[in-house]
Structure 1
């Protein structure tokens, strides 16, 4: 009887590991949420059957003695704790099995890191407030990970130290995911040293707002060339996503790929990479501006087997 129980325990453990591996390696659609109240609630986003990651955007002030602050549009007040999001985050994670990450940085913000110790201090802040389950800025939450969305020209140092410090909080029982949202020119101006550490589980490369590596007017060559540089140069364990605007109105149309062209031209190409992860959309508001939504149209074709 004891032997049977042990065998059953091992079988269940193997099954959990196998399913977790599938969940981590399966292609999907991450989406950014938090920059427009017209996008609906976080619960609304997670009730979509299309997304596998939701990236909360964003914590846009930190480092070098600054008081950390964020901008989630009017979803909550930047001057107060946003604990009204606690139940919605837990709903996404526990009911919908969607990973929820916090994005740091952004195109508009006030942030930089001054030293390896400053990076360690910020990692400690992120862990205790967002990753530990202690009462923090979003209530008692255990987010799945942290995204680096670094675009401030003052901010090109010590992100490798930050990635290592965050990753060090992972344990055998609990993995903390580290993600990056670099722009498509390779290597990224701000995150190259950090990405080369190999600590990044997800890389949501932004193939827009950059004419040298985005799609425009039927020209696929620049995007394919940049995409090949990313997938061939990062660590094999780094899952690479095709980051795109979800609507012609997003990013003033720069880099927008109509769903049919994405399905017929781009996905067959990018799926060839062993570290293909799917398509990351910017953002939830723009995704739902068409009916059916952009994610509705591309979801059936995202997996490698589709």
Structure 2
């Protein structure tokens, strides 16, 4: 073996050993959940501590006047309200600081946005059924997801920007000044100055 390859192997071995001894920092890692019936529950996925984001995948049918449908590969049956049981799993993940998102689209299905009006209707449906809005037919019960992931692999490339803009209009800007003024999301001044603002400054 040449000296060069021996040095390369030694370097690789040293890096691997340092990673094992120091532990691997999994911050910022996302996973798609819901497309493999053998992958374990959502709560089990979050309990691994490996992920900061879990994208629930997918509603493969929406837009173009279609009744939205979610397909979670046997984890639950959306048509019989069987997915409302995921509410406690979603809340368990969020209690661990994990952001739980809904991933739109995927590689199979029938989804398309035909106009800006269609995008607005889909945004309203997503807000009321998966995010912070109100609906009698919320597929995941009273759990409110943290956001929407776009995994658009089919249809056209039209009106996705419109959908994102309409969804962003539902977001609240600013921070509540007191716990009494906030339904949720109040951040104490000490946490704001010691944790939030320094993190924003880094960005």
Scaled by the length of structure 1, the TM-score of the pair is: 0.46
1:159 corresponding residue in structure 2: 160
Aligned-pair CA distance for 1:80? 2.8
CA distance in structure 2 between the aligned counterparts of 1:133 and 1:118, rounded to whole angstroms: 18
CA RMSD, 1 decimal? 1.9
Deviation at 1:156, TM superposition (A): 1.3
- Counterpart Cα distance in 2 of 1:125 and 1:155: 20
The answer for unaligned runs of 5 or more in structure 1 is 1-25, 175-273, 276-306
Q: Partners of 1:73 and 1:65 in 2: how far apart?
A: 24
2:56/2:103 contact within 8 Å kept: yes
CA distance in 2 between partners of 1:40 and 1:146 (Å) = 22
Work out the CA distance in 2 between the residues paired with 1:107 and 1:52.
24
- Matched position secondary structure for 1:118: helix
Equivalent pair of 1:62/1:111 in contact (CA under 8 Å): yes
Aligned match of 1:39: 39
Match of 1:141 in 2: 143
SS of alignment partner, residue 70 of structure 1: coil
Q: Answer whether contact 1:57 1:71 (CA < 8 A) is retained.
A: yes
**Structure number with bigger Rg:** 2
**SS of match in other structure, 1:155:** coil
Give the C-alpha shift of residue 172 in structure 1.
Answer: 2.5
Q: For residue 179 of structure 1, what is the aligned residue in structure 2? A: none
Alignment correspondent of 1:51: 51
Q: 1:139/1:130 Cα in 2 relative to 1: closer, same or farther (>3 Å)?
A: same
Structure 1 partner of 2:64 = 64
Is the contact between residue 60 and residue 69 of structure 1 (CA under 8 Å) also seen in structure 2?
A: yes
Aligned-pair distance for 1:137? Answer: 1.2
The structure whose residues are more often strand, as a share, is: 1
Matched position secondary structure for 1:104: strand
For residue 173 of structure 2, what is the aligned residue in structure 1?
A: 172
For 1:279-294, what aligned pairs fall within 5 Å after superposition?
none
Mapped to 1, the partners of 2:133 and 2:46 lie a distance apart of 20
Q: Secondary structure at the match of 1:102?
A: strand
In the TM superposition, residue 27 of structure 1 has moved relative to its aligned partner by 4.6
Which string of whole-angstrom CA distances, capped at 9 and with x for unpartnered residues, describes residues 284-303 of structure 1? xxxxxxxxxxxxxxxxxxxx
For 1:100, the equivalent position in structure 2 comes to 100
Q: Counterparts of 1:113 and 1:71 in 2: how far apart (Å)?
A: 19
The whole-number CA distance in structure 2 between the counterparts of 1:173 and 1:93 is: 21
Distance in 2 between residues matched to 1:56 and 1:36, nearest whole Å? 11
1:1-306 residue pairs with structure 2 within 5 A? Answer: 27-81=27-81, 82-94=83-95, 96-132=96-132, 134=134, 135=136, 136-152=138-154, 154-172=155-173
Within 2, Cα distance between the matches of 1:32 and 1:83? 19
C-alpha contact 1:133 1:140 (8 A) present in aligned 2: no
User: How many residues are aligned here?
Assistant: 149
Q: State the SS of the aligned residue for 1:79.
A: helix
Task: For residue 39 of structure 1, report the CA deviation from its aligned partner.
Answer: 0.6
Deviation at 1:70, TM superposition (A): 1.3
Residue 133 of structure 1 deviates from its aligned partner by 5.6
Runs of 4+ in 1 over 6 A off after TM superposition: none
